[in-house]
Amino acid sequence: MSRLGTIASVSRIVSYPDGFGVYGADVKYRYDLDRVISRGFDDAQEAADAMLAEAFPHMHVEYSPPDFGCTAFSLPDTGCGSMMGRNYDFKLDTSSMLVRTSPRGGRRSVAFAALDNISVKDPLSSFKARAASSLLSPFICLDGMNDRGVSIAVLTLDSTPTDQRTGRARIFTTLAIRLVLDRATSAKDAVELLSQYDMMAMGGRDYHFYITDAGGEGTVVEYNPDSATRDFTATPADAVTNFFAMRSDMVKPFQKNGIYGHGMERRDAVRRTVEGKEHTTEVAWEALKASSQEPNPEDVTSNTQWSIVYNNSDLTAEMVLRRHWGDRIILDLRTGKAVLRPTEGS
């Protein structure tokens, strides 16, 4: 299957009067993660070059390593399946690409990429936009779920960007997401997989990863900000935002907390919303609405760009772009179908 087939697969799922929308693409070419990693990279530009060389070596595409805000939480199965809820927050508006992959020898997955990070608003506006948004999409996803019910999301932090150099093979922020989606069979497996690599944070910021699976427990993968070598850590957590889960005792709500981060109030809003309730999809949506954010030009982690509920048990998902709560996109990983379904009362 070719790159041309990938480019031709781009389609519009929904668009809005402001020109932004949700699009979909099926990645049909055979990218090689090990080849990307083996190229090696010392900084963000070299990491971007490694992605570009794998996706489309003969086309020039601008790539701006992004900042990722966000809230993520897990809801263990109480009869409706194990779920992960996730708000992707960033101050600049963006269109989103639903990325469907089925790599040879790997896991099938669905994931979402922010197209603003490759300077694309409407991927159907030109051949170059269509090619860039589809061919690069496997390497720029910010959250997703694979066919073993493993979900992952990246969230930004306020600490110095992680730059591990222990001599192991290096990966960067969004490549970590692709590794987990393509190769992990459980949340535990995902944690073990990421622990084998040195991490390089992209975009001039630091990040952590929230990982869940069909078992319902959530784990936050972080790189200890108090360690000179930024040691790898994994901390169980039912919800997390933009603070270190491993240092949650150092974080207070409604304020910055130095290197330990911020956003405790959003985590608390999620907990209050789900407490004592059956873990249904609608309860997950209530929690996402409670922790979503309006635009604030002074806060890079404001302005919820999309909200999504991944059901790790039945391999479905529901997604909304930029607080259009009445327009849910319903996804089925097994069939690859994505349909827009208006929701009354949202």
Q: Tell me what pLDDT residue 26 has.
A: 98
Is 88 within 8 Å of 304 (Cβ atoms)?
A: yes
Is 54 within 8 Å of 192 (Cβ atoms)?
A: no
Alpha-carbon distance values, 18 to 14, 25, 117, 121, 226 (Å): 12, 22, 18, 10, 43
Residue 25 pLDDT level (bands cut at 50, 70, 90):
very high
Q: In the CATH scheme, what is the code of domain 3-342?
A: 3.60.60.10
Least confident of 53-57, 168-172, 282-286: 53-57
* Rounded mean pLDDT, 4-13: 97
Mean pLDDT of the chain: 94
What's CA 282's distance to the chain center, in Å? 21
The angle at the Cα of 186, spanning 288 to 301, to the nearest 5 degrees, equals 30
What pTM was computed for the model?
A: 0.96
What's CA 74's distance to the chain center, in Å? 14
pLDDT digits (tens, 9 = 90+) for 239-252: 999 999 999 999 99
Q: Tell me what pLDDT residue 345 has.
A: 54
Domain ranges of the chain: 3-342
Query: In angstroms, rounded to a whole number, what is the distance separating the alpha carbons of residues 171 and 178?
Result: 10
Q: Where are the beta strands (DSSP E) in the chain?
A: 11-15, 21-27, 71-75, 83-89, 96-101, 109-114, 141-146, 151-157, 170-172, 198-200, 206-212, 218-223, 232-236, 239-240, 242-243, 261-262, 304-311, 316-321, 327-332, 338-342
Percentage, residues of the chain above pLDDT 90: 88
Residue 254 pLDDT level (bands cut at 50, 70, 90):
very high
Burial 21-32 (b: 16+ CB within 10 A, else e): bbbbbbbbbebe
Query: In angstroms, rounded to a whole number, what is the distance separating the alpha carbons of residues 154 and 120?
Result: 21
The answer, yes or no, to whether residue 57 has pLDDT greater than 90, is no
Report residue 170 as tokens.
């290096």
pLDDT digits (tens, 9 = 90+) for 58-115: 766 566 565 566 899 999 998 899 999 999 999 889 999 999 999 999 999 999 999 9
Query: In angstroms, rounded to a whole number, what is the distance separating the alpha carbons of residues 325 and 323?
Result: 5
pLDDT digits (tens, 9 = 90+) for 130-182: 999 999 999 999 999 999 999 999 999 999 999 999 999 999 999 999 999 99
